Amino acid sequence: MSLQGKVAVVTGAGAGLGAAYALALARAGAAVVVNDAVEAAAAATVARIEESGGRAVAVVAPVGSTETAQALVDTAVERFGGFDVLVTNAGILRDRSLLKMTDDDFDQVLAVHVRGTFTCVRAAYASFKDRGVAGRIVTVGSPTGQRGNFGQTNYAAAKAAIVGMVRTWALEMARAQVTVNTVVPVAATAMTRTVPYFAAAVEALDAGEPIPDFYRQDLGFGTPEDVAGLVVFLASDEAAGISGQVLGAGGDRVQVWSHPEPVVTASHAGGWDADTLAAEFAPTLRENLQPVGERFPDLPAELVRTPARPGA
């Protein structure tokens, strides 16, 4: 898979998944504009790319504003002579249960994830159309946006919104042959380090050992690098015609997520009033209630880790 001659922009590329995407794109031959809100983090990713013989430049700014989005596009064109690939990875968390979540908690997460994705994609698409480039856009979703998760009202709303925008953009961009998709990553990050369920996987990573097969195969959970291959593929010419899709990646597993479709349909002459619904449709509804939240299988006994007690 070669991206030789391509120029990519990756937001939130200072660490974790974003850094893995930037490094993988560079290894495939792309020049990379590395965006992050933290200067030292962006510089570190640029240095890693350059040490491996790649080309990269940092743009330090939080995403969300039109000005930042345009600066990313302009930097790609001015420094590397073109622009072909956008990966909108930047994101933040402000986890709180509903009654504890403030307006700022909600607004900040949507500003980065939703507005940041919107402004960057808008600027990228304008550039692609103006220059006649069949560009590639890769947005980043989450299982939380697909299924919900306790304490993440803002994050769930943001990630679900990204998928909704992608379905719309795929329709709008088809004539220009620009593709836009969402990747749903499942990988070891700073967030998963604190979750007891993943303790054995984190323990293996810290020891430089392979993640146990249960995580990689049964759960589809691995390293950021396990997700990066899908991003490189979607950024390539090989992915022409693949657009508007939600694709999961993690560990040894890749997935195609379905788009919402009715699971059961019923009709009643004259329409449904509340009493008729209760009498005739409620039993069918109860038999077809859809699950919410992520449901993990039980850990094998050998992977169970008991958290240390405070002060122990």
> Residue 9 CA to chain centroid, in angstroms?
15
159 is catalytic: yes
Length of the chain: 312
pLDDT at 307: 65
Each residue's pLDDT tens digit, 94-152: 999 999 999 999 999 999 999 999 999 999 999 999 999 999 999 999 999 999 999 99
- Which position among 21, 155, 215, 243 bears the catalytic label? 155
65 is catalytic: no
| φ, ψ of residue 232 in degrees (nearest 5) | -60, -45
Does position 312 have pLDDT exceeding 50, yes or no? no
Q: Mean per-residue pLDDT for 286-294?
A: 95
- Which position among 6, 125, 142, 243 bears the catalytic label? 142
SS3 75: helix
- Which position among 127, 159, 236, 243 bears the catalytic label? 159
Does position 49 have pLDDT exceeding 50, yes or no? yes
Per the CB < 8 A criterion, the answer to whether 165 and 110 are in contact is no
Each residue's pLDDT tens digit, 6-46: 999 999 999 999 999 999 999 999 999 999 999 999 999 99
User: Tokens 């709008």 identify what position?
Assistant: 172
155 is catalytic: yes
| φ, ψ of residue 235 in degrees (nearest 5) | -85, -10
Share of the chain above pLDDT 90, in %: 93
SS3 39: helix
